[in-house]
Amino acid sequence: MSENTTGIIDYGAGNLLSVCNALKSLDVPTRIVKKARDFEGLEKLVFPGVGAFGDSLRHIDEQGLREPLLEWLQADKPFLGICIGYQVLFETSEEAPEVKGLGFLKGQVVRFQSDGHLKIPHMGWNQVKFTDNADPLWRDMPDDPYFYFVHSYYPAPEDKELVSATADYGISFAAGIRKGNICAVQFHPERSQDLGLRFLKNFVAASS
């Protein structure tokens, strides 16, 4: 297997190929992860969106991926969660209260509350504010850039120190987190054109 291979979790839904194609455009060697043995030899791991919290985690459990995923996260190996790949890091979600999240981070995934004027899902380009402009993930980014979002739910981390980016949609919410080599974002870099590719490139470079 090539050095610096990035694994992409196949959880039975979402825009897996879009993320694969984005990474391949950056000449990043990738491998689809469907089973526990597929983790072997990987340097980095990406858990992409789109999908439902409950269905995604049920598929993870059916494929026997929960334990190796948690081992990867607890070992602080380079990880990028995108959209649902961000949300599953938490304990529970209002979308599927009966389904247990990975619980790597404390907190709940909650739904946007509409006042009649706020359209749900939150869909389209939105400004993102970084909490630490010196973070290598944001290298060569303009101040308060725009990224593409598609979601009705967002994580509410208990530890606010983990929040790496915020966005406003009716309220200010955690658009991204970072804990060591574990990072995750609610926006879709693979749909965010040049800045999205820059973000993916920064993730790969920062974790190499």
- Cα–Cα distances in Å, from 116 out to 16, 113, 126, 170, 181? 33, 9, 20, 11, 39
Token pair 């290298």: residue: 139
Tens digit of each residue's pLDDT (9 = 90 or more) over 144-160 = 999 999 999 999 999 99
Percent of the chain exceeding pLDDT 70 equals 97
For 59-105, write each residue's pLDDT tens digit. 999 999 999 999 999 999 999 999 999 999 999 999 999 999 999 99
12 or 170: which leads in pLDDT? 170
Tell me the Cα Rg of the chain: 16
The mean pLDDT of the chain is 94
* 3-state SS, residue 180: coil
Integer Cα distance of 193 and 195 in angstroms: 6
Which pLDDT value is given to residue 1?
A: 41
- Smallest Cα–Cα separation from 158: which of 202, 94, 82, 104? 104
Catalytic residue among 20, 83, 122, 183: 83
Residue tagged active-site, from 20, 122, 183, 188: 188
Is residue 188 among the annotated active site residues?
Answer: yes
Given the residues 122, 151, 183, 190, select the one marked as catalytic. 190
CB 89 within 8 A of CB 184: yes
pLDDT at position 14 is 62
Catalytic status, residue 117? no
pLDDT of residue 50: 79
Question: The whole model's pTM is what?
Answer: 0.95
Which band of pLDDT confidence, cut at 50, 70 and 90, is reported for residue 208? low
pLDDT at 2: 47
The answer to whether 83 and 150 are in contact (CB under 8 A) is yes
Residue tagged 């190929």 (tokens): 17
- Every domain of the chain and the residues it spans: 6-206
Q: 160, 187, 4, 163: which is closest to 85 by C-alpha? A: 187
User: Is CATH 3.40.1710.10 the right assignment for the domain spanning 6-206?
Assistant: no
**Is 122 among the residues known to form the active site?**
no
Tell me the β-bridge partners of 171: 169
Strand partners, 44: 6
Q: What band does 3 get if pLDDT is binned at 50, 70 and 90?
A: low
One-letter amino acid for residue 205 of the chain: A
Each residue of 30-61: pLDDT tens digit?
999 999 999 999 999 999 987 899 999 999 99
Residue 116 has pLDDT above 60, yes or no: yes
Q: Which is nearest to 128 in space by CA: 145, 115, 116?
A: 145
| Mean pLDDT, range 115-139, rounded to an integer | 93
pLDDT score, position 114 = 81
Q: How many CB atoms lie within 10 A of CB 32?
A: 12
